[in-house]
Amino acid sequence: MPPAPALDIRGLTVRYGDAVAVDSLDLTIPRGQTVALLGPNGAGKSTTVNAVLGLLDPAAGEVRVLGRTPRDAVRAGSIGAMLQHGGLPTETRVGEVLHLVRRSFGRAAGEGTWPLGDLVATAGIDGLLDRPVEALSGGQRQRVLLALALVGAPPLLLLDEPTSAMDVEARRAFWTTMRGLAGRGHTVVFATHHLDEADAVADRVVVVSWPVAASSPTARRPRSRPAPAGARSPSPPPPRGGSTTSPGSAR
């Protein structure tokens, strides 16, 4: 039996009240791939990420992370996540927060976490360990949140718009880091609305754009070439009730 894929999503449907945020999404990501979830704001990227983390209960469908339920995978230390609405605690220093999260991963996985010196260099938080959280700039905060996602050396990294608060320079450094991680065998899944970013970094681009198909066949093959412009550009969606012939549509 082959090992369970890093991420296996089947028929995922998420509703907020009457609104459908994600409609029967199917997506399988083998271990070691770097995958971009590309789509305009409101396309359902964050919803998908949150469902994979078990932060919300889907109306239908199933999510398996390395063969486990989302909650079990998080508890087992299999996922490191950078959230859009994640944050840092007040009255702490960066190093203390890192230490706390690192210990929780160490216990769960019963194995090595990321070596601290290496992590500091990788996440670009050199000189920040002793800094009070309140004294961080937006970009620094973002990098600390990245370090928190990495600190447990989890097999699956889920990053929701990780570069949104970064300048061009930081962005470039960030993606160099991500490529390095993928090289070490981590599975990296990130949400973005930048086509160039998705294209430059990912082995595979999955378009999340209601009601156009998510994970179109073109996007499914590794290192995909740009799909036809219509499928990728974040153009305003056609009116609801239009042709949603593809099985995996998300908004």
Partner 1 sequence: MNPLLAFQLRRVARNKQFVFFTVLLPALFTIFLTRIIGGQMPGMAERQEISASIMVSMMAYGAIGASLGATIRISFDRASGWLRQLRVTPVPQTQVFAVDVVVGVLLALPSLLVVAFVGRVVNGVQLPAGTWLALLAVLWAGSAAFVALGLLVGLALDEKAAGGAIGILGVVLAALGGLWWPVEMLPEAMRGLAYTLPSYWYAELGRGVATGGWPAAGAVLAMAGFTAAFGFVAVSVARKRPLHAVAG
127 binds partner 1 (CB under 8 A): no
148 binds partner 1 (CB under 8 A): yes
Per-residue b/e over 49-87, b at no fewer than 16 CB within 10 Å?
bbbbbbbeebeebebbbbebebeebbebbbbbbbbeeee
Q: Would you call the peptide bond into 211 cis, given omega within 30 degrees of 0 as the criterion?
A: yes
Q: Is 124 left (phi over 0), alpha (psi -120 to 50) or beta?
A: left
Q: Which of 1, 2, 3, 90 binds partner 1 (CB under 8 A)?
A: 90
3-class secondary structure, 105: helix
Nearer CB in complex with partner 1: 19/229:
19
The site map against partner 1 for 35-74 (x = CB under 8 A) is ------------------x-x------------------x
Nearer CB in complex with partner 1: 2/87:
87
Q: Which of 44, 152, 155, 211 binds partner 1 (CB under 8 A)?
A: 152
Q: Of 162, 133, 131, 130, nearest to 146 (Cα)?
A: 162
Q: Which of 4, 59, 108, 173 binds partner 1 (CB under 8 A)?
A: 108
162 binds partner 1 (CB under 8 A): no
Q: Of 197, 205, 109, nearest to 156 (Cα)?
A: 109
> Interface with partner 1 by CB under 8 A: which residues?
53, 55, 74-77, 79-81, 83, 85-92, 96, 99-101, 103-105, 107-109, 145, 148, 152
